[in-house]
Amino acid sequence: MNFKTFKKICAVTIFTLAANVGVGQHSKMHIQADSEFFQEQAGTRSALLQTPLFKEIVQNNNRTKWANNLRRISSRTHGLPEVQAIKQQKNQLKFNQGAREAVISEPSTQAVTPEIATSFEGNWSIQGTPPDNTVAISNGGYIVTANNDGIEYYTENGNLLLSDFWSDFFNDGSLTSVLYDPKVIYDTQEDRFVLIVLHGSSSTTSQVLLSVSKTNNPQDGWWTYKLTGNPASDGSWFDYPNLGISNDDIFVSGNLFSNAGSFNQAVVYQIEKSQVLTGNTVNWQYFSNLSAIPFSAFTLVPASYGHQGNYGPGIYLVSSSAPGSSSIRLWEITDNVQSGNAQITSTAVTVPAYQVSADAGQLGSNDALDNGDCRIQNAFYLDTIVHFVFHSDIGNGWNGINYNRLDVSTNTIDNSTFGLSGSFDYSYPAVASFTNTNGDKAVMVAFLRSSSSSYPEARVVNCDHVMQWSNSTQVKAGETYVDFLNGDERWGDYTGIARKHNSPGGHVWMAGCYGADVTITQGTIPNVYKTYIAEIFSSATPPTSVEEDVQEVVKVYPNPVVDLFQLEFEAIDGNELAIQIFDMNGKLVKDLYKDTPRNGLNRLYFNKGALSEGTYFVRISSNQEILKNEKIIIVD
């Protein structure tokens, strides 16, 4: 809505605080058969399987941060042979040139530069490498953050609620192998957290541990299921998981490897959601034998919905070629488990050519940081667009962010890269929507950065609606180099990002690793990773002239508020209006009104209800555009 065509004179009242904001289910179209690579059936669906509840997790809160444990394990084998061959050549060229970087600055743009609100130190990485950071936040403000060492819960102001190694979290003697590769997501529709953790790296020990929180407060416990990591009983084990949610189902994708370490195939598990919410036996199925046209299926990434609610039935997924290609693959699971009719289809979409890059340097050490390959790192879906990111060579062996918007209605791609070839490596990106309007394509991208003149650090950058990049913002500077392994170091494998769906302005939270020393009771563990958790926002406001135009026609009275207050407005354009109450910290405390008012003068009356004494803001918006922030004072 144009501010100058919406006139209001206002007066408002407050009801009892609502626990949750309503969320919706969103429809999904089927991908179009307009590609020469379109596969009507691009894989095989298994028979319906059933798995009982493994255990109920009940936790003791307020534990000391990370038990004093000095055990350090080696990383698993990383990378496909064809990727390693390319990287070896590029590493030799990049690191033998002497002048490995000529430090330059990012170009100044008109895009919104990210700002840091609340931020604090999170998980440590002292048991294993790489960190594999993941994070989710509920509408109620609980934060779950995990890495390969374990899991932590926080409040939005950084108060630590729980810190467990994985062995403590699951507390089960039957889990005797290494626990690793966590992914966590928040389901706005069910108001629950969903968590996966892998167990074991052989066909006899491989399990996918799926946990769903009982409420939006993870301290209330979890239902946990143990799904086989060797679904076809063919000597495979499950690795590199990804996690997604639709209206009806939970999706876990991964890669299966042989006991000798060679890649077998990619698979997707589809798990009926209704049973896991109550701890009952769960129905699930999996898709295998996935099409290899035009390149092998590898690391399929589900694209969950980018705003409040979910979509479906089924889900979109995307995958890339690990060594590189000039296309990516769009996948679709067409229906839910309950229907019995779900298929998996695929089509290839042309993109600018991409290729795996060389590894990254780090200050103070000759050990390079492993940049991995070109697999897609993270994705979400919104308004016919699948947004996804990975890193790739942007010139002379230097890694940069490769960001894409895939329109599923046309099978077309908008693409842009961001980085500083010759200066820094930008790696392991994660993407989240940074708008409250479905039609706005702006995103925030969290990522890691390093060079031979800087320690490994965490950063964030904005890409606006027209794909213009901001300058990146340093979230946490590295404090030292990383020296976990004998030789080159693992880095990544992924960075965490999560949208706070009911925050004004679409705030996002990220969890990224940085080089640091860890001090515990037994002494210092040098040159490992810590995690930094940060709330990302922008203070950008509408132009002053627009705000003044609204001020002339808005009135809230009486103010201060003792009992009742009212809001009057004159509507002339027939658009929906939303009125909400926020506290001084920007937290939504009440949805007052959401409807399309009649044209002409409207008057709404409210009472202060359960609102405690203090200062609040009445926010008036239409089509996600903020029209007015009016301060009100509540008195007894």
HEC profile for 341-397? CCCEEEEEEEEEEEECCCCEEECCEEEEEECCCCCCCEEEEECCEEEEEEEEECCCC
Q: 284 or 100, which is more confident?
A: 284
Min mean pLDDT across 227-231, 328-332, 617-621 is at: 617-621
**CA separation for the pair 246, 269 (Å, rounded):** 13
Residue 633 has a pLDDT of 80
Q: Looking at residues 557-577, what average pLDDT do you find?
A: 73
Q: Looking at residues 298-311, what average pLDDT do you find?
A: 96
Min mean pLDDT across 78-92, 346-360, 398-412 is at: 78-92
**CA separation for the pair 141, 13 (Å, rounded):** 25
631 — pLDDT class (breaks 50, 70, 90): confident
Q: Looking at residues 161-188, what average pLDDT do you find?
A: 95
Q: Whole-number mean pLDDT of the chain?
A: 85
Q: How many residues does the chain have?
A: 636
Q: 127 or 549, which is more confident?
A: 127
DSSP 505: T
Whether the pLDDT of residue 326 is over 80: the answer is: yes
Q: Looking at residues 64-90, what average pLDDT do you find?
A: 65
The winner for highest mean pLDDT among 423-432, 483-492, 549-558 is 423-432
* Ramachandran angles phi, psi of 275, nearest 5°: -75, -35
User: Using one digit for the tens of pLDDT, what is the confidence trace for 7-61?
Assistant: 233 333 322 223 333 456 787 777 766 666 777 889 999 999 999 999 999 976 5
76 — pLDDT class (breaks 50, 70, 90): low
Q: 438 or 386, which is more confident?
A: 386
Min mean pLDDT across 75-79, 168-172, 327-331, 374-378 is at: 75-79
- Report percent pLDDT > 90 for the chain: 64
**CA separation for the pair 146, 391 (Å, rounded):** 22
Min mean pLDDT across 44-58, 511-525, 586-600 is at: 586-600
Whether the pLDDT of residue 578 is over 90: the answer is: no
Residue 521 has a pLDDT of 77
Q: Looking at residues 240-260, what average pLDDT do you find?
A: 97
HEC profile for 152-213? EEECCCCCEEEEEEHHHHHCCCCCCCCEEEEEEEEECCCCEEEEEEEECCCCCCCEEEEEEE
Alpha helices in 36-124 (DSSP H): 81-95
- Of 188, 168, 164, 183, which is closest to residue 64 (Cα–Cα)? 164
- Of 416, 335, 322, 426, which is closest to residue 372 (Cα–Cα)? 322
Min mean pLDDT across 75-79, 227-231, 310-314, 483-487 is at: 75-79
Residue 506 has a pLDDT of 66
C-alpha radius of gyration, the chain, whole number = 25
Q: Which CATH architecture describes the domain 3-25+543-634? A: Sandwich (2.60)
Residue type, 407: D
Q: Looking at residues 97-104, what average pLDDT do you find?
A: 53
* Ramachandran angles phi, psi of 385, nearest 5°: -110, 130
Question: 3-state class of 577 per DSSP?
Answer: strand
Whether the pLDDT of residue 449 is over 90: the answer is: yes
Whether the pLDDT of residue 181 is over 50: the answer is: yes
Residue 33 has a pLDDT of 63
**CA separation for the pair 522, 348 (Å, rounded):** 54
Q: 563 or 484, which is more confident?
A: 484
From the candidate CATH numbers 2.130.10.10, 2.40.420.20, 2.102.10.10, 3.90.1530.30, the one assigned to the domain spanning 48-75+112-537: 2.130.10.10
Whether the pLDDT of residue 247 is over 90: the answer is: yes
Q: Looking at residues 297-302, what average pLDDT do you find?
A: 98
Residue 110 has a pLDDT of 63
**CA separation for the pair 139, 191 (Å, rounded):** 8
199 — pLDDT class (breaks 50, 70, 90): very high
Residue 573 has a pLDDT of 66
HEC profile for 226-285? EEECCCCCCCEEEEEEEEEECCCEEEEEEEEEECCCCEEEEEEEEEEHHHHCCCCCEEEE
User: Using one digit for the tens of pLDDT, what is the confidence trace for 52-64?
Assistant: 999 999 976 545 5
**CA separation for the pair 569, 575 (Å, rounded):** 13
- Of 471, 470, 474, which is closest to residue 510 (Cα–Cα)? 474
Q: Looking at residues 545-572, what average pLDDT do you find?
A: 59
Min mean pLDDT across 72-81, 131-140, 170-179 is at: 72-81
Tell me the two tokens of residue 102: 């000529």
Residue 325 has a pLDDT of 97
Residue type, 219: Q
Whether the pLDDT of residue 140 is over 50: the answer is: yes
**CA separation for the pair 14, 9 (Å, rounded):** 18
Tell me the two tokens of residue 486: 């004998």
Residue 91 has a pLDDT of 83
Q: Calculate the alpha carbon distances from 183 to 186, 435, 487 in Å.
A: 11, 24, 27
Ranges of each domain in the chain? 3-25+543-634, 48-75+112-537
Tell me, yes or no, if the pTM score tops 0.85: no
User: Using one digit for the tens of pLDDT, what is the confidence trace for 364-419?
Assistant: 999 999 999 999 999 999 999 999 999 999 999 999 999 999 999 999 999 999 99
Q: Looking at residues 459-471, what average pLDDT do you find?
A: 94
Whether the pLDDT of residue 176 is over 70: the answer is: yes
Q: Looking at residues 483-507, what average pLDDT do you find?
A: 88
Q: Calculate the alpha carbon distances from 226 to 187, 242, 320 in Å.
A: 20, 16, 29
